[in-house]
Amino acid sequence: MKNSISILSDKDYREIISKEKPIELSISKNCFEYDNVDEMIKKMEEVQNDFFISQLKIISILNREEYNKICVADLFSRSGLTHKVVTEIGNYRFTEVCNSVDNILIRRYFIMNFNKTIVIEGQEYCEEMYELDVKSFCILICEICSTKQDIEDNIDEEDAKKHLVYIEKIIDKFIEVYFEKIKLIEKLGEIL
């Protein structure tokens, strides 16, 4: 016998509360069947991943040349540059770039993707940098740094290592979803 469960998003819930849609329609549209608990857990993990990714936002994509233009020398910073690496996970490096424009400090946040690299004069560089909004950057940095701290403090070390792998997969999926969204917008533009 199959079991079934309905998973409602906040949008579905708002539509039910505001009586825009009948509850039966929302529940039936968001229902899935499963044979065992493992299938249900897998579906719940997918929903949780989708929710986590939905909180993240890429503002723009820069290539190496564009990124280098915003990273300038800064004699007053520790590294001598306006660019600093905050943390890294797998092939992703999280950076902050601080520039002063008209005496106003502007901070920009990036994921440097070393899954796609180019070699110039023996040096390896990433091809793409994804600019994030501050909320997305903070969400990811908190997840990564707290997990790394658990490993450093020997707190559930094996689970923490698995969680870092999980976070890296989430970042892969986040970037993949972003490009899918871009393709969809382009197709819609062609139709209209």
Instruction: Give percent of the chain with pLDDT exceeding 70.
Output: 94
Distance CA 37, CA 137 (A): 34
Listed in sequence order, the DSSP H helices in the chain are: 10-17, 23-29, 37-54, 64-70, 134-152, 157-191
Distance CA 72, CA 34 (A): 55
Mean predicted confidence (pLDDT) in 173-183 = 92
Distance CA 135, CA 64 (A): 24
pLDDT band, very low/low/confident/very high, at 190 (cuts 50, 70, 90): confident
pLDDT band, very low/low/confident/very high, at 132 (cuts 50, 70, 90): very high
Is the pLDDT higher at 47 or at 177? 177
Whether pTM > 0.85 for this model: the answer is: no
Distance CA 174, CA 136 (A): 11
In the predicted model, what is the mean pLDDT of the chain?
86
Mean predicted confidence (pLDDT) in 140-164 = 94
pLDDT digits 0-9 by tens, 60-89: 999 989 988 888 766 566 655 678 899 999
Q: Which residues pair with 33 in a beta bridge?
A: 4
